[in-house]
Amino acid sequence: MTYFSIQYEYSPKIIGVKELCQTRLLVEEYDYDTQDSIRNYWRQRPIIKPQLNTFLLEKKAIITDLVSSTQGHSHFGLLLSNKFINFLNQYSRQEAFIIPIQFAYKENKANYTGGHSLFILKNSILNYFNFKKSKFKIVSILEKYHKNIEIKSVESLEYFFKPNEAMLWHHKIMFDFIEFSSDMKFDIFRLDQLGGYYVSSRLKEAIEREGFTGMRFEEAKNIVVDKA
């Protein structure tokens, strides 16, 4: 099976804006600092359901089936049309939070309730990693730094998801190769802080046939499933 990462669409003809993101903020009175805010919900273990209010759309944003946002952390949650979510329900996935949302354009603040939700898979796919064959590294976003590390369990992997003596604030953990165990059968899954949402080739092809908008796909040649 081949897998593909879900990426935001960047064509202005499709999303309406040149800056990639169709929405950047929630309405003014929203408190971003609470534990269950859109900025912090994903930091909790296990992940928690965030509290939301209206998302403000950029002036020329076109509402698509996947709406790009600087809020919500796309490694954890996606702003999806309910039509698209219902379509995904035909395919194998883990349990999800599905939280109805509203959009409003900045200029007139008129609410758009066209049927979108914040879609969050509650569990990442880490428990299906074959750690004996998967390969990880620590890199820096500020300088040339690359260190291969050995990971033997989910617990030791999650240790590198937060600042500690091995992880400075500008460090991030990445993978060079991931092998899943043979019982990994999901068509859509998320890799937590390692890389967001991925779909199987059969789901990607079905999405493209149906013509859902706001997304593009990049092949993940370094993700495989054990054939045993």
What pLDDT, in 10s, does the model give residues 15-64? 999 877 999 888 878 888 999 998 888 888 788 899 988 888 988 999 99
Most confidently modeled range among 37-41, 90-94, 137-141, 164-168: 90-94
Whole-structure pTM value: 0.91
Return the amino acid letter for 144: K
**136 & 196 share domain:** no
pLDDT one-digit tens code per residue, 171-207: 889 999 999 999 999 999 999 889 899 999 999 999 9
What is the spatial order of strands in the sheet that 55-57 belongs to? 23-26, 55-57, 96-105, 111-121, 77-81, 66-67
**7 & 80 share domain:** yes
**113 & 190 share domain:** yes
DSSP SS3 for 96: strand
Q: What per-residue confidence (pLDDT) applies to 29?
A: 81
Q: Over pLDDT 90: what percentage of the chain?
A: 61
Query: What's 167's DSSP letter?
Result: B
Provide the residue range defining the domain that includes 49: 3-125+185-225
**189 & 87 share domain:** yes
